[in-house]
Chains A and B, each alone.
Chain A
Amino acid sequence: MAERPEDLNLPNAVITRIIKEALPDGVNISKEARSAISRAASVFVLYATSCANNFATKGKRKTLNAGDVLSAMEEMEFQRFVAPLKESLEVYRREQKGKKEARKDKDKKADSEEQDKSREEDNDDDDERMEEEEPNDEEEVDN
């Protein structure tokens, strides 16, 4: 392979933000350290994928599922990640369900929503005022 998989880096901005939020205020990070962490994150994904794939293969499956990833975390001695990951997964699943239902509802309300949007675009600067001045309109539209 000409390109190493580790070269597939994750976006620097996001990595930097995660690092900064994890550290106390006033702490900086050098460019070299940041890019090293970014590369480490990529390696982490690759390693975790490989571990997860082992579990999938054991289960005679060809598709990695969330459970395989969680098992991989335990295998990699990151058990402390498992609980928070499970919670995030629950939230994610709920969101996905919510999105599906929202899509159905959105089709019904599509017309009224378009009217709302055009009004919002006109009053872009006066978002707050719009809500105050035109409460009646919004109520009518929701009907």
Chain B
Amino acid sequence: MKWNMSRCLAPARSGGGGAVLGAGSAAGPGRECSEAPPSPARPRGPAQAQRSGGMAAAAAVPGPGPAEAAAPGEEAAAAGQQGPGPARLARLPLARVKALVKADPDVTLASQEAVFVLARATELFVETIAKDAYMYAQQGKRKTLQRKDLDNAIEAIDEFAFLEGTLD
């Protein structure tokens, strides 16, 4: 298992049950997540540790938060990055997503729910690819994500194979 993201996101259920935009509970689920296994194949340590409280920035001070979360281990931090994530509604405008769906000549209709799930999936995808590209930037000791980091990620990661040749 290359990724531990699904494990990270699942435990949020325990803390943020019905919270939709639970800014108040944002910090909670993130730190409670101790089920996430360490990611053997992908070192996700320090970068993610800073992020554990990041999502809670609106509601809580992220300063002391990540410091505490980082101590118990990178697993918790890596998991915490998505505290309020799963319960959040889509940020991408559904109308634009729908326009893309309609661009496919084989598609007749898509339900509202389908468009919503696609929008959420795309957000998760953007987060995923950004983080992966960032790893390459870190390797190059840079703090700015560049196009080549993205290209490297696409080449290296199987799931991104469908992107090859499409971004030029």
Contact = CB atoms under 8 A, between A and B. Distances in A.
B163 to A, nearest CB: 5
Contacts of B61: none
Q: Residue among B121, B158, B159 with the most chain A CB within 10 A?
A: B121
Interface string B24-54: 0000000000000000000000011011001
Contact of B127 (A22, A49, A85, A92): A22
A32 B145 CA distance: 9
A32 B151 CA distance: 11
Contacts, number: 229
B18 to A, nearest CB: 8
Q: Would you call the interface of chain B mostly helix, strand, loop, or mixed? A: helix
Contact of B122 (A5, A45, A82): A45
Interface string A103-133: 0000000000000000000000000000000
Contacts of A21: 54-55, 127
Contacts of B60: none
A76 to B, nearest CB: 7
A45 B12 CA distance: 26
Interface string A35-53: 0110111111111111011
A46 B107 CA distance: 11
A91 B12 CA distance: 13
A81 B144 contact: no
Contact of A32 (B54, B137, B146): B146
A5 B103 contact: yes
Contacts of A62: 108-109
A2 interface: no
A42 B104 CA distance: 12
A91 B143 CA distance: 36
B163 A27 contact: no
B112 to A, nearest CB: 8
The 6 closest A-B pairs by CB, nearest first: A80-B6, A84-B86, A22-B127, A5-B103, A64-B110, A66-B113
Given A40-B125, A45-B101, 5 more contacts: A18-B126, A53-B104, A62-B108, A88-B116, A94-B18
8 contacts: A5-B104, A11-B92, A14-B91, A39-B166, A45-B100, A53-B106, A64-B109, A69-B118
Interface of B: 3-6, 9-10, 12-13, 18, 20, 47-48, 50-51, 54-55, 81-82, 85-93, 96-97, 99-101, 103-104, 106-114, 116-118, 120-131, 133-134, 137, 143-147, 149-150, 154, 158-160, 162-163, 166-167
